[in-house]
Chains A and B, each alone.
Chain A
Amino acid sequence: MSKLSKIILYAVAITVLSWFLPWLYALLTPSASSDPFCAFSPISSQWIVSRSAPGEKPVITLVDAFGGNESSGTRIPVSVRDSLAPQLYYRQLVAHDLLPDTIAGKAVSAHELKTHEAFFTCSPRETNKVFPGIWLMMESMPVRVELSDPKEGFRITDNGIEFIRISDNTVNSDRSRRFTEAMKSRGFRFPAKDLSANITSQKTYDEGYLMIDSEGKLFHIKQRGGRPYVAIIDMPEDVIASKAFIWEESDRSILGLMTDTENRPYVIRSDGHKAIPLPSENGKIDPRRESIMVMGSLFNLTVRYTGPDGSRWRAFDADSLRLIGSIDFPRVTSTVSKIAGYVFPYTLSMTSSYDSLAYPRIKNFSLKALPLGLLLALTLWIMAARRKDKTMKIGALLTLPLGIFAFLPFLLLGDE
């Protein structure tokens, strides 16, 4: 009994320290993100890479569209950056009467640029969220101009969709039947694998849901005047949808984004409800591991994928979706993290920036911490030999692989 209590005590202490010490170290040594911000110039067809640090002037570099890097690029001042990226800084140009009439062969005005502005982000944290299994349905065609908060929620069962009136928490059988019939008649196979919507009355219009059925087909579903609107999204043959993101930006030409089971990304055009694959040079994207940011404009679609290995920026022509620029920024390990590698043989974290789940994750294994582990183990062994303490000797053996995480509990608890 006593042995078991000792084992439990040491195991708990080692676990808590494996989490606490790296957490404390990270808290005491904050480091600023080194990720730059990029924009693709429709004028020079080059990347504009901006880096800024707190209290310092931004460093802006003009880099080639493909294969360029910052060190070989040209430094430019802020005023030149504004002129080269009018899709982002048109307000500044208008204020100084510097906005040209035509850019890249397209007639432009502040209004035109604003209409085609789009900004979309999604993170693995959001993608991997735990949902309760109830979703809300908005009215896309309200009587008044403004959208209002949803009055009904719904659940997806194996056989259909079931609407629930929020006011009295009862099932709306009539609407459930109508939607189920409409969805089944369009070829929707229940249950749904994935749903995406922006439920808020603060947006300008509502496009309802992008839903992936059990066979991986993608559907656009919304409520118009209380009635179902169901449209299948036309995808290339043999493609199985895995994750969809509805957009609802001021530029209505794009309905959303989608990835398939092979992690290939697609843009869903509103016109014709078609999923257009992004060029293969774009690479694959796993939205459950990487965050996506899209900036749309009259000229191009600039996409940033950020994952554990760094960030990748891609620019596509707004009309043809042809790849027009590509630049990568691999993750640079900070000095602080490098030092941690010499102290901690591994780290234990309960949370992650890639999801919102709490469970133990052991990572950052480092053989560089072995010398420190050996030194601490030797110290503990000598102390154990002097005190003739068997438990401490076991601690010394454990300290070799577990380093400081085992050393501290055996040092502090092994005195009697």
Chain B
Amino acid sequence: MATTSHTPHMTKAILAKEILKTRRAFWCSLGLTAFFTIYAILGINRVITTHGVEHVWLIMLMKDQTFTDSIKYVPLLCGLLVGLAQMMPEMQQNRLKLTLHLPCPQNRLLMTMLATGFGELTVIYLIQFVAIGVYYSRIIAPEMTCYVLFNTLPWYLAGYTAYFFSAAVCLEGKWKRRMILALIAAGVVTLYFIQPMPGAYNGVLLPAIVVTLLLTWLCIGSIVRFRQGLID
């Protein structure tokens, strides 16, 4: 009973703890994203100044370029950064044992932790997504803006995938399984980058979102194993 009555306050407290823990990673990721987004936009501006806006349309429509390649791996980096910053201290300083003893159900606790990282990444990705959308809508037709924005979605999914996997790897107690999880993560993330053609992933975005969200269960698996004492 005591656990249940304490839960809402405890959830808030965990949320506050996670925000404090990830604040540096969050601002670093936001800074990195802002830098590469501005770099991409300046690159397009440079093309417009030197070759004219017609060239941007021509290259985009005939050469399958979206001028956003410089931001391609940034969401992935952000996902890794936030995931590691959030979960590594739990294992390094053995804080996870203490965390798991907090008066809060295990799954709610983990979901609150993951929701914090997920939310922070969503804020970063949304800022970038909107910035690109607003910039492009001024210079190209709405259909082309959608084309560019849809092309960035697999990169964000790769970012979330990297986040969930880095969390699962950090929360795992055995080094052998950590390595295997990391290899599987590398394989899954690669799948989002193997086809560079714009619009290539449009048909699989919905199933990919579902699979990405299901990856949260990998973290649950790691926690369960940790509680079972499967630690090196």
Which of A6, A9, A166 makes the CB contact (< 8 A) with B57?
A166
A2 in contact with B221 given A8-B214, A134-B61, A149-B54 (CB within 8 Å): yes
Pick 28 A–B contacts, CB within 8 A, sort by A: A1-B220, A2-B220, A5-B224, A6-B221, A8-B217, A12-B218, A13-B180, A19-B191, A129-B197, A130-B198, A130-B200, A132-B61, A132-B199, A133-B147, A136-B57, A136-B62, A153-B61, A153-B141, A167-B54, A169-B141, A199-B58, A350-B195, A351-B194, A356-B195, A356-B197, A358-B195, A413-B180, A416-B174
Chain A interface, >50% SS class: loop
B107 at the interface (CB under 8 A from A): yes
Which of A6, A19, A133 makes the CB contact (< 8 A) with B143?
A133
Residue in A5, A129, A155, A351 with the greatest tally of chain B CB atoms within 10 Å = A5
CB–CB B197/A135 < 8 A: no
| Residues on B facing A (Cβ under 8 Å) | 52-55, 57-58, 60-62, 64, 107, 138-141, 143-144, 146-147, 154, 174, 176-177, 180, 184, 187-188, 191, 194-195, 197-204, 211, 214-215, 217-218, 220-221, 224-225, 230
Bin the interface of chain A by size. Answer: 35 or more
B49 → A minimal CB distance (Å): 14
| Residues on A facing B (Cβ under 8 Å) | 1-2, 4-6, 8-9, 12-13, 16-17, 19-20, 129-130, 132-136, 149-151, 153, 155, 164, 166-167, 169, 199-200, 350-351, 356-360, 412-413, 415-416
Which of A132, A357, A413 makes the CB contact (< 8 A) with B200?
A357
| B53 nearest in chain A by CB position | A166
Give bound CA distance, A167 to B138, whole Å: 11
CB–CB B61/A136 < 8 A: yes
CB–CB B187/A5 < 8 A: no
7 A-B pairs closest in CB distance: A5-B221, A130-B199, A16-B187, A132-B147, A358-B195, A356-B197, A133-B143
Give bound CA distance, A12 to B168, whole Å: 14
Chain A residues lying within 8 Å of B224, measured Cβ to Cβ, are 1-2, 5
| B154 nearest in chain A by CB position | A358
CB–CB B57/A153 < 8 A: yes
Give bound CA distance, A172 to B154, whole Å: 35
Give bound CA distance, A151 to B195, whole Å: 30
Give bound CA distance, A149 to B143, whole Å: 21
Give bound CA distance, A415 to B55, whole Å: 58
Which of A134, A199, A412 makes the CB contact (< 8 A) with B144?
A134
CB–CB A135/B61 < 8 A: yes
Give bound CA distance, A163 to B204, whole Å: 32
CB–CB B218/A169 < 8 A: no
Chain A residues lying within 8 Å of B194, measured Cβ to Cβ, are 350-351, 358
CB–CB B215/A350 < 8 A: no
Residue in B64, B176, B187 with the greatest tally of chain A CB atoms within 10 Å = B187
Residue in B53, B57, B198, B201 with the greatest tally of chain A CB atoms within 10 Å = B57
A16 in contact with B184 given A150-B58, A199-B62, A350-B195 (CB within 8 Å): yes
Chain B residues lying within 8 Å of A416, measured Cβ to Cβ, are 174, 225, 230
Chain A residues lying within 8 Å of B52, measured Cβ to Cβ, are 149
Chain A residues lying within 8 Å of B202, measured Cβ to Cβ, are 130
A1 in contact with B107 given A149-B55, A166-B53 (CB within 8 Å): yes
19 extra interchain contacts, Cβ-Cβ under 8 A, other than A17-B187, A134-B57, A149-B54? A1-B224, A2-B224, A8-B214, A9-B184, A16-B191, A20-B187, A129-B64, A130-B198, A132-B147, A132-B198, A134-B143, A149-B55, A150-B54, A150-B58, A199-B61, A358-B194, A358-B204, A359-B204, A416-B174
